[in-house]
A = this chain, B = another copy of it.
Amino acid sequence: MAHEKYNELLQALHECMAACNHCYDACLQEEDMQMMANCIRLDRECADICGYLEQAIARNSAFVGQLAKVCAEICEACGQECQKHTHEHCQRCAQACLNCSEACKRVA
């Protein structure tokens, strides 16, 4: 398939999308939800762009490089926000985001 050279990135995007959506769902159940507003917001931004880039790679888009550049930036912002919070879902999400950001940069 056309997207075989992107296998590592596809894996990272998929894990990041899942982790961000899980973190979003979990943040909306936290007692200190007020403190999680930016995390909720960035989780959605990041899940959306990762899902978008997955689809773009899979359809052999001519714009993978440019989209990966934006995705790297959004993943990094989300990872940095998540790192600030001690909830396990945030820490896991931070790791998935920063890993995905690096994978995006290698392609961008």
Contacts and interface: CB of A to CB of B under 8 A. Distances in A.
A63 B70 contact: yes
A49 B70 CA distance: 12
Contacts of A22: 1-3, 58, 60
A6 B51 CA distance: 18
Interface of A: 1-3, 14, 17-18, 21-22, 24-25, 28-29, 31, 33-34, 37, 40-41, 44-45, 47-49, 51-52, 54-56, 58-63, 66-67, 69-70, 73-74, 77
B37 A47 contact: no
Nearest to A34: B33
A73 to B, nearest CB: 6
Contacts of A52: 48, 52
Nearest to A33: B34
